[in-house]
Amino acid sequence: MNEYLLDSELDLIYTEVMAATHPEDVFGSPAKQLPLREQQAALKRRFEELKTALNPEQYTRIVDANAASDAYDKLMVWYEAAKAGLVTGKSLMNFTVRKTEYQVGERIAVGDHSVVHRAIATTGGISEEVVMKIATDAEHARRLKTEAEYLRSFQYTDGRHPIARVRRTLPKLIDSFDVDGRQVNVLPYYHGFWSVRDILNHFKHRVPARHAAWIARRVLALPITTAMVEVGFEADILSHVLVHPITHEPLYIGWSDVRRNAHQSDGHMNYIDSHDALSAALALFKNGEGEYETTEQETLGRFLDSQKYTGGETDMPRVFTEFTELVYQTLGKKYRPLKLT
């Protein structure tokens, strides 16, 4: 009787694969919060594990070898379906521009000038996850065209220009085009980044000082960055300064709301966004009632507050340096990853 019973491990996998009605029954639901390549890698690892277990040549009994062969054939069907599912998902619309196929997925944000979607861009059989900003109307299309012009200039400016020093903090433009009369900008999908506003909301406006300090430094660097690229920033800073909780990298978005700002005639930078940046950084150290709750918050917050009303234009590199020194004196230099999930 036992000669008709499958090997115990094989029996479990055989049953799982042969009884499946969807790829998820075999491979589990994809972790959509992860980058597409990481999802694909996780799927492949699981497939390789199952493929190894279903290799018929490792079994000496015919009943096991035949069962493994049948399950292997079915596994290949589910694997191909799972791979396709990662790329296609649920598309709201599909179109092709310059040999790249775009599959537009879920809406992830509504901006001042556009609706923002996650999407998959496939070129030559290689798929990448991207962000697609679609203008809400003709007037806002003009703003997105402005953004595309600036992002292009950031990427292709001569390496000797000050922009080269801050380029890694600026989003890249993958493509920009018109679809059915609506301007579309395509950018990379920057996984893991949070806006400062979302972090404030996550902590209910009670961000621990040890985290508020490094986030504030990223905010204070914004007017230095905009001065280098010779623009004034008109977007809401709290919503358009992004930071990565683990790496602490900043990303400055919102380049459809900018105005040209040339350097002063003597060559000095114009830090015209300094007051707004100081106000945004200060918000990180106060609770929802506008009060300090710890001595560390008060020490750092009062310094920022004092710099807002110095008269004339604020020297942001000086403020950034002095604030950094004060952070080190108050909290030390220890690196602190921020866990938000």
Q: Find the domain containing 36 and state its range.
A: 2-88
Let me know: does 76 contact 26? Beta carbons within 8 Å: no
* Claim to verify: residue 223 and residue 301 sit in the same structural domain: yes
Whether pTM exceeds 0.75:
no
Residue at 78 is within a domain: yes
What's the length of the chain?
Answer: 341
* Claim to verify: residue 177 and residue 271 sit in the same structural domain: no
Looking at the DSSP bridge assignments, the partners of residue 252 are 241
Let me know: does 305 contact 281? Beta carbons within 8 Å: no
Residue at 338 is within a domain: no
- Domain boundary at 41, 68, 88, which? 88
Inter-CA distances, 235 with 42, 55, 255, Å: 38, 58, 8
| Domain total in the chain | 3
Q: Residue holding tokens 């008709």?
A: 4
- Domain boundary at 153, 170, 188, which? 188
Q: What confidence tens digit (pLDDT) does each residue in 273-304 have?
A: 788 999 999 999 999 898 999 999 999 999 99
Query: Among the residues of 157-269, which ranges form H helices?
Result: 163-166, 196-202, 209-228, 237-240
DSSP 335: -
Q: Looking at per-residue confidence, does 88 or 18 come out higher?
A: 18
- The closest alpha carbon to 252, from 167, 148, 149, belongs to 167
- Calpha distance 161→48 (Å, rounded): 48
* Claim to verify: residue 26 and residue 84 sit in the same structural domain: yes
Let me know: does 61 contact 3? Beta carbons within 8 Å: yes
The per-residue pLDDT for 266 is 46
Range in 10-14, 83-87, 151-155 the model is least confident about: 83-87
CATH number at residue 138: 3.30.200.20
Residue at 341 is within a domain: no
* Claim to verify: residue 264 and residue 309 sit in the same structural domain: yes
pLDDT for residue 2 is more than 50: no
The per-residue pLDDT for 291 is 93
Give phi and psi for 185, each to the nearest 5: -115, 135
* Claim to verify: residue 111 and residue 71 sit in the same structural domain: no
* Claim to verify: residue 308 and residue 221 sit in the same structural domain: yes
* Claim to verify: residue 13 and residue 110 sit in the same structural domain: no
pLDDT for residue 30 is more than 60: yes
**What is the Cα 163 distance to its own chain's centre?**
21
Residue at 79 is within a domain: yes
How many CA atoms lie within 13 Å of 6's alpha carbon, on the beta-carbon side? Answer: 19
Q: What confidence tens digit (pLDDT) does each residue in 91-148 have?
A: 567 788 899 988 888 888 888 888 898 888 989 888 888 999 999 888 888 999 999 9
Residue at 74 is within a domain: yes
* Claim to verify: residue 147 and residue 162 sit in the same structural domain: yes
State the average pLDDT over residues 181-191.
91
The per-residue pLDDT for 265 is 44
